[in-house]
Amino acid sequence: MYMVDLIQKKRDGGILSDEEIHFMIDGYTNNRIPDYQMGAMLMAICFQGLNKHETVVLTSEMMHSGDVIDLSGIEGVKVDKHSTGGVGDKTSLVLGPMVAACGCKVAKMSGRGLGHTGGTLDKLESIPGLHVDVSEEDFINQVNDCHLAIIGQTKALVPADKKLYALRDVTATVSCIPLIASSIMSKKLASGSDTILLDVKYGEGAFMKTKEDAKVLAQTMIDIGKSLNKDTRALISNMNEPLGYAIGNSLEIKEVIDTLNGHGPKDLLELCLQAGSQMLMQAHITDNEISARKLLQDAIDSKKALRCLQAMVKAQGGDDSYIRHPELFEKTKEVISIRSQCSGYIKSLNALSLGIVSMKLGGGRMVKDDDIDHSVGLVLNKKIGDYVSKDEVLLKVYTNTGLSKELEDSIYDAYHICDEFVSKPVLIEEIMK
Ligand code: URA
């Protein structure tokens, strides 16, 4: 078999056989196929697409390109959740403890932030001492002990995706639905959980800009999960404004703690209740949404979910006094209030721009190896549908490096204010199974 023949076949709209996909992924992972040929294949896939069967086979080949985690040492149903990423998205850190408190086992591998979206691992690492490099044995023991572990992906997990993602990044082939779906699902499937709940976001601050694309991506991932015998469901959620009020690592951890103490933002809580309900049903803890919501709300009211977070932090070497006393988190040199220049209703709020401001303050990475400042970021005071008076605070900037005119302008440009009443956006568009 020759890679050049496969490239030509896909270029001309042909269907790749199982053997050809195996040849391609195995050859690329093991350096027998060079980047230039794989790059050409990725571009051919972008133009010609992959059918459902090809996408499933590609995912399975990628999943088996490295270690597949064996979670059979954990009793009970292991549930996993994945968000396609957004601004202020701290859902996993609220949802994980909530469903763990209700009896699910959460053995989760998360990622770091790049660009305007934050990463769960970076947020967790704002808790002093906490580490995310955990051996497979300790990971399993921790989930058995406290029902919850959120760690970094091991190096040997889906090596094909590591190489392919880096290549896609530099060949303009990232935004191709079968490639995104196989990239995400290969990692989720290799992480070994029994069920997968996807939060596919759409909007200005998300990877998928339209609801329609988000649905196609969700359906592609559900099809892959089902073909490989995993209960896979998806929420389609709105990311036209940041989730919650906080953007930035320790600021978001404080919001997580507030939410688990029962004082969180409404949108974040609602997303966690809806996602959590699906996860409890996937784990057969209950068979209906009403009782699932009640169990999840009880986990917050009784502080059981907060205790799960605390137990996880402690097990991963973190100082859990920060969970009890969030005022301990390092403070920035300055907190600058940005005040509205006019009165009216917030019509739109550009999540992408605010994510970029937070990144430029030092809260995120422009390139993979950048250091980050865990203490900086933004806390919104007004979101879409809120009324703001002239000179009222729109948001606060937490900074150690002041605020340049450029960033201040970006913040003002992110808010569109109008005279007419604006209703609150719909957060969850659809639940797909
Ligand atoms: N996230 C992934 O893991 N892979 C993609 O291709 C896109 C987003």
* 306 Cα: distance to centroid of ligand 1 (angstroms): 30
Dihedral angle sign, alpha carbons of residues 28, 33, 34, 39: negative
**φ and ψ of 365, to 5 deg:** -110, 135
Taking the C-alpha atoms of 201, 188, 117 and 207 in order, what is their torsion angle to the nearest 10 degrees?
Answer: -40
> Is residue 376 within 8 Å of residue 355, measured between CB atoms?
no
Ligand 1 near 300 CB (within 6 A): no
Ligand 1 near 62 CB (within 6 A): no
User: Measured between alpha carbons, how far is 84 from 320 in angstroms, rounded to an integer?
Assistant: 29
Q: For residue 370, what pLDDT is reported?
A: 78
> Is residue 343 within 8 Å of residue 414, measured between CB atoms?
no
Encoded tokens for 130: 């906490």
Ligand 1 near 87 CB (within 6 A): no
* 89 Cα: distance to centroid of ligand 1 (angstroms): 16
Q: For residue 115, what pLDDT is reported?
A: 67
Told to judge if 168 belongs to the known catalytic residues of this protein, a careful annotator would answer yes
* 301 Cα: distance to centroid of ligand 1 (angstroms): 35
* 138 Cα: distance to centroid of ligand 1 (angstroms): 27
Catalytic residue among 83, 110, 182, 183: 183
User: Measured between alpha carbons, how far is 195 from 281 in angstroms, rounded to an integer?
Assistant: 10
Compute how many other C-beta atoms are within 10 angstroms of the C-beta atom of residue 171.
16
Told to judge if 161 belongs to the known catalytic residues of this protein, a careful annotator would answer yes
Task: From 174, 189, 208, give the residue whose CB has the most ligand 1 atoms within 8 Å, as the site to mutate.
Answer: 174
Catalytic residue among 10, 64, 78, 82: 82
Q: For residue 153, what pLDDT is reported?
A: 86
Encoded tokens for 131: 């580490």
Q: Which amino acid is at 359?
A: M
Strand order in the sheet with 393-399: 246-247, 377-380, 393-399, 334-339
**CA 300 distance to own-chain centroid:** 22
Catalytic residue among 123, 168, 201, 374: 168
Encoded tokens for 112: 């770091």
Q: Taking Cα atoms as reference points, which of 202, 254, 233 lies closest to residue 86?
A: 202
Dihedral angle sign, alpha carbons of residues 242, 245, 251, 257: negative
Encoded tokens for 277: 């309900």
Q: What angle do CA 321, 98, 320 make, to 5 degrees?
A: 10
Name, in order, each residue with C-beta under 8 angstroms of 263's C-beta and a sequence gap of 6 or more: none
> Is residue 200 within 8 Å of residue 84, measured between CB atoms?
yes
Told to judge if 413 belongs to the known catalytic residues of this protein, a careful annotator would answer no
> Is residue 218 within 8 Å of residue 200, measured between CB atoms?
yes
Instruction: Render each residue's pLDDT in the chain as its tens digit; 433 residues.
Output: 999 999 999 999 999 999 999 999 999 999 999 999 999 999 999 999 999 999 999 999 999 999 999 999 999 999 999 999 889 999 999 999 999 999 999 999 987 776 677 789 999 999 999 999 999 999 999 999 999 999 998 889 999 999 998 899 889 998 899 999 999 999 999 999 999 999 999 998 788 999 999 999 999 999 999 999 999 999 999 999 999 999 999 999 999 999 999 999 999 999 999 999 999 999 999 999 999 999 999 999 999 999 999 999 999 999 999 999 999 999 999 999 999 999 999 999 999 999 999 999 999 887 777 789 999 999 999 999 999 999 999 999 999 999 999 999 999 999 999 999 999 999 999 999 9
DSSP string of 186-242?
HHHHHTT-SEEEEEEEESTTSSB-SHHHHHHHHHHHHHHHHHTT-EEEEEEEE-SS-
Residue 398 pairs in a beta bridge with 335, 377
* 314 Cα: distance to centroid of ligand 1 (angstroms): 30
Ligand 1 near 208 CB (within 6 A): no
* 175 Cα: distance to centroid of ligand 1 (angstroms): 9
Told to judge if 147 belongs to the known catalytic residues of this protein, a careful annotator would answer no
Ligand 1 near 180 CB (within 6 A): yes
Dihedral angle sign, alpha carbons of residues 254, 406, 113, 222: positive
User: Measured between alpha carbons, how far is 80 from 14 in angstroms, rounded to an integer?
Assistant: 35
